[in-house]
Every structure is written in C-alpha cells, then in structure tokens.
Chains A and B, each alone.
Chain A
Amino acid sequence: MGTYIVKRLGQALLVIWLAYTAVFIAVQSLPNDPVTIFLSTDSAADPATIAQMKAYYGYDQPLFVQYFSQLLGLLRGDLGYSLSNGSEVATRIGEVAGSTLILAGSAFVLSVVFALIIASAASLARGGKLRKALLNLPPLMVSIPVFWLGLLLLQLLAVQLGVMSLFPDGSFMSLAVPIFVLAVHLSAPIAQVLIKSVQEVNRQPFIEVLRAKGASEAWIFYRHTLKNAAPAALSIAGITIGALLAGSVITETVFSRAGLGQLILQSVTAQDIPLVQGLVLLTAVVFTAVNLLVDLIHPQLDPRIVTSTSGATRSLVA
C-alpha cells in the first residue's frame, strides 16, 4: 500500500509539472510577450512603459530564468501578478474560489446522490416500464445543456413564480437552483456508467450464488453489487471534474454569480495572460488532486488493485 501511494503521488506531481511546462511553452509561443499583448488594445501605449512593465513582471529575463523563477513561485503558491489590476494572481483567485468551491462541491455531491438514486431505482424496479424509463433518464439528462436548464429555471422560478431573485442574494434558492442545474448535468455520465457497471456485475455468477444463499435483490444490490460497480463510476466521477469546472463557468454566468467562471471570462477578455496561466494551472492541480483521491479510494473498494502485481494496478478498473 505504501509504495502504491508514493507512486500515485509522484505521478500526480509529474502531471502538474508537465501541465506547468505546457502552459509555459504555450505562452512563449504566442507572437508577443504577455505585456505587449495586454497593452495592444491600448493604441497609445508608450514603448518605454511597455519596457518598464516587462521589466517589472520579469518578461525581459532569459527564458530559463523565467521558467525556473515561475516554477519556484508555483511551489510557494505564488502565481505572479495580474496585468489587469496589478494584484497577485493567487489573491484574485482566492477571492472567488470559495464561491465556486461551494457551488461545484455541492453540485458534485448532489450529482453522486442523483446517480445512486437513479442506478438503485433502475436496478431494483420491478416493473419493466419503470425500469426502462429510468434507464433512459441519464441520456436525457446529458443532452440538456446547462445554460438552457438554467435559463428555463430562472424564467420559471424568478420571473413567473417569483420564488427566487434573478441575481444572487444569499438566499437558499439562489444557491440551490444553480447547484441543482449543475448536478443534473454532471450526474448523467456517472449514473450511466454506474448502471452499465451494475448490469455487468449482475451477470457475474456470484450474484446467482447470493440468490441461492437466500439473499433478497436489495441485499445483493446494496451489499455486493454496488461495491463491485463503484470503481468504474468513481473513475468517471474523477473525470467529470473537467466538466464540472466548465459547467461552473456557464452556471455562474447564467446566474450572475461571482466565481472562477466569471474570473476566467474576464481574464480571457482582458487578455490578462498571467491570470489565465494561473487559472489553467489551478484547473490542472484540482483535476490531478481529485484523480489522485480517486486512485487512493480504489484499493479500498477493490482489494485486487494493490495486491495484483504493481505493473497492472489500474487494469482491473479500466
């Protein structure tokens, strides 16, 4: 187990370092340096000011100095300074990250709950028609765009029924509705994979053996099938973090919430490259951290993962 954790941790750090390097190379391959790009909208930019700003932000240094000083900064949690208002990138992100964390985190938990409910109901439903309807729910949910459902609910709840405000006012509804919208979208792939995986587990001979032991369908589902089916759904849940961040951007825009989504939008519009760089790195870190967590949970669910020879640890999950 110890070597397994160290190995996963090492891989996670490697991924973050590669992400940093990729972002650095991408920025360097832009036709101009970030300061020149940022000031290009301002036609009257003074070359002297540009040179001064470049020196201030360190863009006049040799490439490898830039690479290592930024990497060193990253290790200390220092992501440089935003061009648009001069404050630290880390601070700007920190200001709004909490709001997004609440939205995305709650939506994630809710989506897992939705997926579990749909999968259990679909697996345990006695009637063929009900089961069929439940099985078709995830494809329907995944095909509903986040912004469409968001606008629809705003129209219905805020404009027509007046039970929530159009803008975030700290009320329960103004948080619950965006979370719900995001969760509906996210739970679809998780539910789909979970159902598929449950069906696969149900075809295993040991399920029949459990019935022969006298176990009820619910007993089999909750005590055996679910634990066997969980790893596949967990892997998908880890991957949906990407969709979660993208969905947050849209949801925040639709519901006019402050958050990373709006910050990303602003930074791209203003061509504030250090800020964009910081946000991309943050996404990479979050993505890697969540998938590291998924990897660490897997052995708890399936004992075969660690004890099988080290080379093929994930092969059972795939």
Chain B
Amino acid sequence: MNATSNASSAVIRIEDLTVQYAQGTVAADSINLEIPAGQIVAIVGESGSGKSTLTKTLIGLLPQGTEVQGSVRFGGTEVTNLSLSDWRAIRGAGIGLVPQDPGASLDPVKTIGSQIIEVFRLHPSRSVPKAQWRSKAIELMQSVGIDRAESRLDQFPHELSGGLKQRVLIAIAFALNPQLLIADEPTSALDVTVQRTVLEVFVSLARKKGTTVLFVTHDLAVATDIADRVLVMNSGRLLEDRSVPALVAQSTEPYTKALLDQAYAHQDRQQPSTSDDIAITVEGLGKVFGKGRNEHQVLSDVSFEVQRGTTFSLVGESGSGKSTTAKIIMGMHPATEGSVLVNGREVANISGKQRYDLWRDAQLVYQNPDSALDPRQSIGSIIAEPMVNYRLGDSARRAQRVAQLMDQVNLPEQLVGRRPGELSGGQRQRVAIARALASGAKILVLDEALSALDVLTQEQILELLDQLQREEQLTYLFISHDLHVVERISHRVGVMCRGQIVESGTVDEIYSNPQHEYTRTLLAANPGKVLRELADSRTA
C-alpha cells in the first residue's frame, strides 16, 4: 500500500485521532493516517461520515469546545495543541483550503484582486516584496487559466461565473505554495463540463508544484479520477485506505462495495412498447424573460413527448432551461410561444382554476426536501394536505390514505406524528414523494429531486421511484444535471443546451452513440473515467 513510506517525507501523520464535538457526537474515531509529500489523496464519504471533521482538524478550524485526542503532525509539528497565532501562521501559508461552494466563498463586497493579495498581506514574510503583489496576483490568475487576468483584478465576485470563482479560490490556495492543500468538495457545486476543466487545472497545478492534496468528496467517480489513493470514511471511521486500482479490485468492505456497485450500476430498464398514450406533449415551446434591453430568450422551440408510464429526463447544465421547461409544464410560468398538453389539456398559459385542476393530476417534487416541507407540520398533515386542498374524503379516509402512502414509500408508520426536522434527508424526500401522490397525481415532475441526497440514499430513492412507477403506472419528467442518475432512471432522454433540446432519444442512443457535439462534450466530462477503465479488474 502507498501509505507505507519514508516517515521523514510525511507531510501529515495522524495517530489515534479521536474527535468529539461538544454535544457528544464522536465525529472521528481512532484514525491513523500518513500522507507522503506530493500525494493526492481523496476522502470519500457521505454527509456525517467525519470527512469534514478530519479536514477541519488538519486546519485547526474545529468549533470551540471540541475534544481532540491523539496526535496530528504537520511536517513534523504537533498541531493538536497549537496556539491561535501559531495556527494563523500555518493557515494560508503552509496549509491551503479550496472550499466547497465557490458562490459564497469569496467576500461579495471586495474585489477579486484584493482577495488574492490579502494572502500576501496576511503572510508578508512568506510573500514576494509588496511592489510585486499585483503582478504576482496576475501571474497566479493566469496559472489557473483565468483569461484577461489584469482587468479581472478589479471585478467583484458576482461578475464572475462559478467556474471562474473556483479558479480564483484555487489561485488563493496556491498563492504561497503550501505543502498541503485541503480541497473540500471543490467542484460539487459546478456543472460537469466546468468541473472537469477546474479539476484539470487543480490537479496539474498540484502535480507541477508537488503539493500534497487531501481531496474531500462524496463522489467516488471524481475521487478515483484524480487521486493516487482513496480513503473511505463512514461514521467517523476510516474504512478503507487503498490505491485506486486496489480499491476497485480488492475491496472487501461492504460499504465500499455498495459505493462501487452504485458507481458501476447501469440502467436495467426495459424499453416499454411504444404506445400512443401520451401524458405530456410539449411543442415548439419558447420562453422570453425580461423586456427591451434585458430581453433574454431562455427557451426556443423545445419539443418532446412523454409516454404514459415512462420516464423522460431533461439533462443539461445550469442555465440550459430545463427547470424553466418544468415550471411551464406545471403552469407556474406562462409560455411565450408553443403549446404544452398534459393529459391532453393545454396548460401553456393557465391560471386559477385550471392550474388547480392541473395540479391534481401532476405534481412537482423539489430538489431540496429540507425547504420543501413545512418544518412546523407533522409528517401526517404534510402528506394529507393535498387531500384537504382537493376536498378528498373525510378525516378518517385521509388518515387511512396517509398510512397507505407512507407504506408505499417505505416510511415507518410511527413517523406520522414527527416533524420534518426529526427525519433524515432520504426520509424527507420520501415524504415529499408521498405528498405528491396524495391527490392521486399520476404525473410527477422531479426537479433535481435526488441532487441533495447522499449517493446511497439516492440509490434507495431511485429504487422507490422505479417501484412506484411500475405499481402505479406513474409518468416521470426527471430534471437533472447528473448523467449517471439520468442514465439509470430514464427511458428517454433529452439533452438541453442554451434553451434548446439538441438531441433526444433512448438512453442507449444517447449514451452509446451521441450525435450532437454538446452531448459528446457532456459525456466526456462525466466523471468516472478511471472507474470505467478499471471495470474489468473488478472481482465482485
């Protein structure tokens, strides 16, 4: 294993590390880890697995009152009991951080340039002389592939795209050539094609400078694509520590195997026989936002059909118009042109009573189950609400139906009186699905409905959706940026780019034989290349 290497060159050496938060949770449990200089190590795990705790320990940013036992050495220095000022000298200079959410990780009211130069200002002894700060900042921006670097120095974060913001943050992290770089889900908020280019810049820079990288991610495909070595964490424990090929070929840990199974899973859906029972017909749909100078065409000539009982997915990057399409189909935005038929009824420009009727047949399931459920209502009354709105049955009948729905989405009966806050993310998404079905709707529009969930939870919800579809003849319009999930859930796929469907077809047609340039770019950017290459070595 790679972990055994010369002790003197180890950048990080962790022995018996246990971290316990003030409220009692043990977030890291007897962890031993050694990382030699220049290695790129990925930590894979779900939310709550302890991966963030581990990185926070390494950069000294655990919340106050956290108890840390064991030893953490950074380049030979014990850091578990460092003073605040000693930490400040290390952070930014010896250890850099590339954060998770580029959108919120830069100060919105300061210029890009000032935020890069700030690192020099904070560590003057480690930086070039003051007169060269500006030119050094430009040089850094160029090294991460930012065009027109000089003029961008005076721009504010909101004037940059997400990918550019993440490049700025990478430039900041590399500014003083730290020995260790911690990257905390640095690309999970980005579109796949942007993710790919940002990862390329990041990895090549780390390789060139010989920086040791600790890359935290929930995505095994991304981890295996870039790392020399993968650590798998679950419930605060380090389950696995192997090189990428060894992980795929030799892993015996059930949790790792489940992750691998998920990553390798392919669609096993039977193409249903073509029938002319069409649930949703979209034809020549166009949408313009704004007026005059601010006019902005978000959709043009979007056409597709969804057969009853099947899943049609719209896949594309942010801003491609897929969510707008979903909202028009749900009657929440008027269409500028074209027509939308749901169950044969025109809904492109409806309001009031017509909308009320539409929502009885078609329901929307949102991305984030946390904010889509009223935190003050019980699970039972959340699920029953559509029946109350549509005056279906009396309260006894409704309670009966709630119990039936909860059983259908595999929610334990005793949760009926709980509040959303007491449920896990996966359970909350089940509640949202049950609520969508409560009024008897047979068409579900799922807008990024799996994106906020952990990989293995996604897997369970996917299975649930599949089972419900078969039992209830449900029709799904699935909106997603995740090519892997789309491949698994869909019968047919439409690829959206800049407000147009550039290509549509069966999953097989799109994934095995993409016709359009953009589809090819998208598929090429999809992480998991290394996993696919290693597929044959898999023993399972």
Residues of A at the B interface (CB closer than 8 Å) are 204-206, 208-216, 219, 224, 227-228, 301-304, 307-309
- In the complex, B172 has a CB within 8 A of chain A: yes
Q: Choose, from B84-92, B331-339, B353-361, B504-512, the stretch at the interface.
A: B84-92
Question: Which among B96, B99, B105 has the greatest number of chain A C-beta atoms within 10 A?
Answer: B105
- In the complex, B294 has a CB within 8 A of chain A: yes
**A205-B104, A206-B107, A228-B107 known; A213+B91 contact, CB < 8 A:** yes
Residues of B at the A interface (CB closer than 8 Å) are 59, 61, 84, 88-93, 95-97, 99-101, 104-110, 118-119, 122-123, 156, 158-159, 169, 172, 290, 294
- The answer on a CB contact under 8 Å between A206 and B105 is yes
- The answer on a CB contact under 8 Å between B122 and A208 is no
Complex: A214 Cα to B88 Cα, angstroms: 4
- The answer on a CB contact under 8 Å between B109 and A301 is yes
Q: Which residues of B contact A206 (CB under 8 A)?
A: 104-108
Q: Which residues of B contact A216 (CB under 8 A)?
A: 84, 88
Complex: A224 Cα to B157 Cα, angstroms: 14
Other-chain residue from A209, A304, A307, A309 in contact with B294 (beta carbon distance below 8 A):
A309
- The answer on a CB contact under 8 Å between B156 and A304 is yes
Complex: A238 Cα to B159 Cα, angstroms: 29
Known: A205-B101, A205-B105, A214-B122. 9 other contacts (CB 8 A): A208-B61, A210-B107, A212-B99, A213-B122, A214-B91, A216-B84, A224-B107, A303-B108, A309-B294
Minimum C-beta distance from B110 to chain A (A): 7
Other-chain residue from B92, B101, B106, B110 in contact with A212 (beta carbon distance below 8 A):
B92
Q: Which residue of A lies closest to B103 (CB)?
A: A205
Q: Which residues of A contact B100 (CB under 8 A)?
A: 205
Complex: A228 Cα to B107 Cα, angstroms: 8
Q: Which residue of B lies closest to A311 (CB)?
A: B294
25 pairs from A and B in contact (CB 8 Å cutoff): A205-B101, A205-B104, A205-B105, A206-B106, A209-B105, A209-B172, A210-B107, A212-B97, A213-B91, A213-B92, A213-B97, A213-B122, A214-B89, A214-B93, A215-B88, A215-B118, A215-B122, A224-B109, A228-B107, A228-B108, A301-B109, A303-B156, A304-B156, A304-B158, A307-B158
9 nearest A-B pairs in the assembled complex, by CB-CB distance: A214-B92, A212-B97, A213-B92, A214-B91, A303-B156, A205-B104, A214-B88, A214-B122, A209-B105
Q: Which residues of A contact B105 (CB under 8 A)?
A: 205-206, 209
- The answer on a CB contact under 8 Å between A307 and B159 is yes
- The answer on a CB contact under 8 Å between A302 and B108 is yes
Q: Which residue of B lies closest to A304 (CB)?
A: B158
- The answer on a CB contact under 8 Å between B99 and A209 is yes
Q: Which residue of B lies closest to A225 (CB)?
A: B107
Complex: A216 Cα to B90 Cα, angstroms: 12
Complex: A205 Cα to B98 Cα, angstroms: 11
**A213-B172, A214-B89, A214-B90 known; A205+B294 contact, CB < 8 A:** no
Q: Which residues of B contact A303 (CB under 8 A)?
A: 108-109, 156, 158
Q: Which residue of A lies closest to B102 (CB)?
A: A205
Complex: A227 Cα to B108 Cα, angstroms: 10
Q: Which residues of A contact B101 (CB under 8 A)?
A: 205
Complex: A227 Cα to B84 Cα, angstroms: 25
Q: Which residues of A contact B294 (CB under 8 A)?
A: 309
Q: Which residues of B contact A205 (CB under 8 A)?
A: 99-101, 104-105
Complex: A206 Cα to B172 Cα, angstroms: 13
- The answer on a CB contact under 8 Å between B107 and A211 is no
**A209-B169, A304-B156 known; A214+B108 contact, CB < 8 A:** no
- The answer on a CB contact under 8 Å between B109 and A228 is yes
